[in-house]
Structure 1
Amino acid sequence: MNTGYSRTKATQSKPIKIYNTLIEAGQYVVIKIPVGRIPSGNIISIKAHVYRGPRIGPCMVALGGVHGDEVNGVEIVRRSIEQGVFNHLYAGTVIAIPLLNVHGFINFSRDVPDGKDVNRSFPGNANGSLASRVARIFTREILPVIDFGIDFHTGGRGHYNYPQVRFNPDHAPSMDLAQAFGAPFTVAGKPIKSSLRRTAVEIDKPIIVFEGGENLRFDEFSIQQGILGMKRVMKFKGMLSEAPDAEATKNFTYTAWLRSPRSGMFHLLKSSGEQVKKDELLAYITDPFGEERTLVVAKQGGYIIGHNNTPVISQGDALFHIASNQKPKILTLKPKTRNPKPKK
């Protein structure tokens, strides 16, 4: 057990208990929580870094790797530990978990071996699948201790997300956290059934979700935005004495995916972070033989908060995730194909 703070400065705050380990004010402890065995017999464990400040304050969880292939979230929490972001808390407690889905991480997979999604398995079951057992461990050991949290994610396979925070608009504490984070984009949206965010808000514990970058690929801009936003939240909660100011945040109420009208090779002309207007050309799709070209145009204005990075796409694939404050129309395009060869 290592101590990261002077115990003489600690107040009379009560110790917290995680997996049969008591952590007092002023302590830093690393706790390994076993969640199961893989077929080889090796035990998979979740590693939680617990930092307790010298004064009474809230308890935050900083969580990465709920989806094993979303490495930017893992790196945000890992780098925060390495850089000592939590070493000098003014007050309160931080539980930093860089990697929740260990099996998915070592197999370059979003999910666990049986195809189950950890973030669709909450509150979990101790006798269920590996995903359900991972969710259950978090629900049993971490969720009762915390007051709020930040869950760090990236875009899914082949999709890039511009740095953004998602929150439950029907829960005022979640909204406050999202605004304090100060991400470039803030997006309102009700939590998905059986997700961590849904499970937490049902017991009035706000957890916001940060999205930034693409799976299996580091994105330095997203990593930095995640670390800076977390610092701002901690300052807002009185846990840090200072944090960098945020630039202007754009707030959105609605989002919708613009989907592909045909299969082919996808050529981007616009990308995430850019504003678009109705009928603006965003991309085009070609066949592999140079005979046809299909234009992809915006059906309404807004900002692109995510886009498809896959060069070869199929009809119906999600191409652009567009956010606005107007209720979206159905954004599936009808093919508008033209011959790219000039007329003689």
Structure 2
Amino acid sequence: FGVPVVLNSNLVDGSLRESAVKNETKILLYEAGEALRFDEFSIRAGMKGILNVLQHLGMTRKVVRSKKKRMPFIANGSQWVRANASGIVHNIVNLGDQITKGQVLAEIGSPYGAIFDSVKATRSGILIGKQNIPLVQEGEAMFHVAYFSEDDEEIAGHIENVQEQLLPENDDS
């Protein structure tokens, strides 16, 4: 497919993946971006991935690439960090950032500027998802952190390179 990070996750009851496994059907599920929003990077990465799969299956002509093919990093698991208070969110980290356990990911405050609480990482890893809505309710999922057995710094650098290649500012076409 060609994405920088692959999350190896368990089946969820009632999900498309569970149904496919029960019916012995091969599927490739691509999840990226924020719910109810279009995200240019996620769209471009998905389109590139679909074309890669079609080429691999011999359904389209193979394009000769001069770039070295990189294998994706496989996440051992992931965890959502949840809001511990309700209020206005000031995010401090970005998608693809390497984070460490205890690092402040966001601050939650009042409309008048007072900070109620800080949202801290519960473990080290790479930020693979986050909510972007400026208001949060206590208990809502805010940050999706993937954790690996490999070096987080190398993975974060790899994700940054992929972002530079796919974002519109760097589009040579």
Provide TM-score, normalisation by structure 2: 0.75
Gaps of 5+ in 2: 150-173
2:35 aligned partner: 215
Q: Considering Cα pairs closer than 8 Å and 6+ residues apart, tell me whether 1 or 2 has the greater RCO.
A: 2
SS at match of 2:54: helix
Find the counterpart in structure 2 of residue 267 from structure 1. Answer: 90
In the TM superposition, 1:134-283 aligns within 5 A as 181-243=1-63, 247-283=70-106
> Does structure 1 retain, via aligned residues, the 8 Å contact 2:34–2:130?
no
Identify the residue that residue 298 of structure 1 maps to in structure 2: 121
CA distance in 1, matches of 2:89, 2:70: 33
Q: Higher strand share goes to which structure?
A: 1
Q: Map of 1:20-99 to 2, 5 A cutoff?
A: none
- One-letter code aligned to 1:291: A
Q: Deviations over 1:294-340 (max 9, x none)?
A: 222212100111101111111111110111037xxxxxxxxxxxxxx
Q: Residue 85 of structure 2 contacts residue 116 of structure 2 at CA under 8 Å; is this kept in 1?
A: no
Aligned residues: 146
- Cα distance in 1 for partners of 2:115, 2:45 equals 40
Q: Which has the higher helix share?
A: 2
Q: What letter is aligned with 1:206?
A: K
Structure 1 runs of 4+ aligned residues shifted over 3 Å read: 243-248
For residues 270 and 217 of structure 1, do their structure 2 counterparts lie closer, same or farther at Cα, with a shift above 3 Å needed?
A: same
Distance in 1 between the 2:120 and 2:61 partners?
A: 47
CA distance in 2, matches of 1:286, 1:278: 22
Whether the aligned pair in 2 keeps the contact of 1:253 and 1:323 (CA below 8 Å) is yes
* Displacement after TM superposition at 1:251 (Å): 1.3
Corresponding residue for residue 158 of structure 2: none
Larger Rg: 1
The 8 Å contact of residues 197 and 206 in structure 1, kept in 2 or not, is answered as no
Distance in 2 between residues matched to 1:248 and 1:215, nearest whole Å: 27
Task: Note if 1:307 corresponds to 2:130.
Answer: yes
Structure 1: distance between partners of 2:20 and 2:89: 39
Q: Deviations over 1:145-166 (max 9, x none)?
A: xxxxxxxxxxxxxxxxxxxxxx
User: 2:91 and 2:114 mapped to 1: Cα distance?
Assistant: 19
The code of the aligned residue for 1:315 comes to: E
Distance 1:312 1:235 in 2: 43
TM-score (structure 1 length as normaliser): 0.40
